Amino acid sequence: MKNLKGTTAFYSVIPFLAILFLFSGTFSNNEKKSTPVQPFMTSVDNIVADQMVKQNIVGCAVGVVKNGNIVHIKAYGHKDILRTKPVTVNTVFRWASISKPLTAVAAFKAIETHKMGLTDKVTKYVSYWPNSGNKGNITIANLMNHRSGINHYDSYNKSKYTANNNYNAKQCVDVFSSAPLQNTPDTKYYYSTFGFNLLGSTVEEATHVPFESYVQTNIANKAGMTSLTPYSNAIGGYAKNCNGELVAKNEGKVDWKLGGGGWASNIKDLTRFMVGLMNGTFLNNTAALWKSVPSNNNYCYGISRGSLNGELYVAHGGAHSDVRTYMGFFPNSKTGVVVFINGGANVSSNRLAKKVFSSIGKNFGLDDLAVNYCGKEPECGTRTIGVWRKTNHAENTVIRRGYSSNEFHAEWKWLLGKGYYCSNFETYKQGGTRKWDGIFKKKNIGSAMYRNYSQQGFHDKWKEMSNKGYRLIDVETYVDGAARKWAGLFIKKSGAYALYRNMSSQQLHDRWSANNKKGLKLIDIEKYGNQWAGVWVAGSGVAMYRNYEPSAFMLKRREMNKNGWRLIDVETYTAGSKRKMAGLWEKSSQDEKYIFGYRYCKWLSSFYDAYDNQGYELIDLENY
């Protein structure tokens, strides 16, 4: 796992999720309907599908250009985590900071037409920018290469901007003009969206043309960008909290920061903008954008530069609370990728784009591990237990956290369409809402999930599925209202099987012992009140220890591990006021990792990430 620090309607009239899906590697029907635009590349589809799973991306759009020609434009996924509203190629996303290259192009156009000069002071054109002190020394070049010293959301007054769907250049500057500079102009690099806001206002004052009109005439019209707008409504997106749960976000109106982060369009027009940069559509000397600036963190004039295998590469990303964007291309070979994602800090548009590059012969050498996120507060989230096994296939496992019942159904169904089945799930109440977590693994195997069954109803469903060649692999029980409910995960599997519930502690022990002798392997246990449930499949040789306090369980686990036994299931519960642990072990030569008691964010960032990179696959997850 890479750590980035820092349901549709039920298929039954009863309140129960009961759907059987056989493995499918194709996209869902909704996605097929939302992506009619040609051209497209199947290789890009496969990469995007993989990254959406591994980054927990709800929806995105991708454009690919090769040799100056658009070879792929497509939208994927959905606007909502219930997966009812598909993203399309006409969905308008905010560009966020990709607005900066656009504003830089507008500025260079004004320079090429002798409306202003690169080294001119801003005050030559903008009367409402302070002329006192160091502020009066800021040049247009300083704004474009982030050497103005103007702050970046450190100090500002958004209430100064009162215009509504009518860009006001002066009010845009009034938002931050009274704030002190971070440093003396032209002495150091300091990234600033507000600097580009001022640049947009400077273009307007120097050309005597409203900034948005100037961009429309000199950029949008030339590239055929019909959806480019400064006044888009945010479609919203999702960011993860410290417990790994997706939370809805909406950045709101952003025309108050138009020059630095407020432009928007659909994926087709962002792709056209990149093609325009490649082909010199807007400027006589487009390369002026990526002319090197010494000691400036690889930032040039509205865009960053780098290289891959000796070839020049230029790029810019963007970030709002509800969107991540990216544009990167190789000017010499005219090959590039643009990306929109309706996600927050938990997703990486940079990573998605660079993965897509591999489909057109540009390999950035990124691994295939999942990406998870919990922010920058390690002591945050629920207490978490994890069991890992050294399989060297960690890249085939992802986790989902904190989904409501309907949301979990939608995600489970969507992941099935990507070739993943749910191998383990947990349920709990949070703020009065039932939540679900799951471990999903990539494997070509039939699977099914059933939830919200009564005692007898679940027994009948278990027998029905068993007769169809499916075996129960995980059982959960919980109380909703006054009724006890049952849920289970099934996979296509042959061999003997058994399910026993409502057992006392002694009855479970006796059943475990008897079934071991019958060639039945206990693979899952569930404690509820003073009773136990157990799931058996064909096999033998399982050890069971229960009612250990956490520290004693840790010692028992070390003893078992030393003797060649590996955990396959952990159950935690309370007995009176004390926390207790139970575990099932099997013989295995594969190495194991076990982590108990850390808050989720610490568990994720300090252990899961490291174990993923070492080839350890998560096999069990518990919260308390």
522-574 pLDDT per residue, tens: 999 999 999 999 999 999 899 999 999 999 999 999 999 999 999 999 999 99
Q: Which pLDDT does position 2 carry in this prediction? A: 57
Q: Which residues contact 608 (CB under 8 A, 6 or more apart)?
A: 1, 3, 372, 386, 618
Q: Judge whether 541 and 587 are in contact, CB under 8 Å.
A: yes
pLDDT band at 15 (very low <50, low <70, confident <90, very high): very low
**Listed residue (595, 477, 457) closest to 535, CA to CA:** 477
Q: Which pLDDT does position 40 carry in this prediction? A: 83
Q: Which pLDDT does position 28 carry in this prediction? A: 34
Residue 27 has pLDDT above 50, yes or no: no
**Listed residue (71, 144, 74, 73) closest to 104, CA to CA:** 144
Same domain, 313 and 414: no
Inter-CA distances, 260 with 82, 96, 156, 386, Å: 32, 8, 14, 43
Structure tokens belonging to residue 411? 């995600």
H helix runs in 370-454, sequence order: 405-417
Q: Which pLDDT does position 617 carry in this prediction? A: 98
How many structural domains are present in the chain? 2
Which residues span the domain enclosing 544?
Answer: 377-623
Instruction: Output phi, psi for 64, to 5 deg.
Output: -130, 135
Q: Which pLDDT does position 39 carry in this prediction? A: 66
C-alpha span between 99 and 279 (Å, rounded): 19
* pLDDT tens by residue, 340-376: 999 999 999 999 999 999 999 999 999 999 999 999 8
For residue 531, the one-letter residue type is: Q
Q: Judge whether 400 and 432 are in contact, CB under 8 Å.
A: no
* pLDDT tens by residue, 369-389: 999 999 989 999 999 999 999
Instruction: Output phi, psi for 476, to 5 deg.
Output: -130, 145
Same domain, 467 and 558: yes
Mean pLDDT calculated for residue range 115-131:
98
Residue 163 has pLDDT above 80, yes or no: yes
Same domain, 481 and 556: yes
Same domain, 290 and 412: no
Q: Quick check: is 55 in a domain?
A: no
C-alpha span between 345 and 103 (Å, rounded): 24
Q: Quick check: is 139 in a domain?
A: yes
Q: Which pLDDT does position 3 carry in this prediction? A: 53
Same domain, 404 and 485: yes
* pLDDT tens by residue, 175-225: 999 999 999 999 999 999 999 999 999 999 999 999 999 999 999 999 999
Sheet strands side by side (includes 483-492): 18-21, 447-453, 483-492, 470-480
Q: Judge whether 104 and 144 are in contact, CB under 8 Å.
A: yes
Same domain, 189 and 257: yes
Q: Quick check: is 419 in a domain?
A: yes
Q: Which pLDDT does position 165 carry in this prediction? A: 87
CATH code assigned at 182: 3.40.710.10
Same domain, 313 and 410: no
Same domain, 168 and 298: yes
Residue 24 has pLDDT above 80, yes or no: no
Please tell me whether residue 474 adopts helix, strand or coil conformation. strand
Q: Quick check: is 328 in a domain?
A: no
Concatenate the DSSP letters of all residues of 34-96 into one string: H--PSP--HHHHHHHHHHHHHHT-SEEEEEEEETTEEEEEEEEEBSSTT--SB--TT--EE-G
Concatenate the DSSP letters of all residues of 149-198 into one string: ---SSSS--GGG---SSS--HHHHHHTTTTSPPSS-TTSS----HHHHHH
Q: Quick check: is 130 in a domain?
A: yes
**Listed residue (244, 236, 321) closest to 59, CA to CA:** 236
Q: Judge whether 74 and 44 are in contact, CB under 8 Å.
A: yes
Determine how β-strand 311-320 pairs with β-strand 304-308: antiparallel
Q: Quick check: is 342 in a domain?
A: no
Q: Which pLDDT does position 4 carry in this prediction? A: 53
Q: Which pLDDT does position 7 carry in this prediction? A: 28
Tell me the average pLDDT of the chain: 94
Give all strands (DSSP E) within 256-344, no chain letters: 264-265, 304-308, 311-320, 323-330, 335-341
Q: What's CA 230's distance to the chain center, in Å?
A: 26
Q: Quick check: is 306 in a domain?
A: yes
Residue 518 has pLDDT above 50, yes or no: yes
- Tell me how far apart the terminal alpha carbons of the chain are, to the nearest angstrom: 23
* pLDDT tens by residue, 66-105: 999 999 999 999 999 999 999 999 999 999 999 999 999 9
Q: Quick check: is 333 in a domain?
A: no
Same domain, 309 and 396: no
**Listed residue (515, 502, 562) closest to 542, CA to CA:** 515
Same domain, 395 and 490: yes
C-alpha span between 33 and 165 (Å, rounded): 32
**Listed residue (317, 340, 356) closest to 264, CA to CA:** 340
Place of tokens 């009855």: 507
Determine how β-strand 371-372 pairs with β-strand 2-3: parallel
Q: Which pLDDT does position 18 carry in this prediction? A: 37
Same domain, 311 and 437: no
pLDDT band at 1 (very low <50, low <70, confident <90, very high): low
Report the share of the chain in percent with pLDDT over 90. 92
**Listed residue (351, 180, 323) closest to 263, CA to CA:** 323
C-alpha span between 459 and 501 (Å, rounded): 10
Same domain, 292 and 418: no
C-alpha span between 537 and 524 (Å, rounded): 10
pLDDT band at 11 (very low <50, low <70, confident <90, very high): very low
Q: Judge whether 53 and 368 are in contact, CB under 8 Å.
A: no
Please tell me whether residue 342 adopts helix, strand or coil conformation. coil
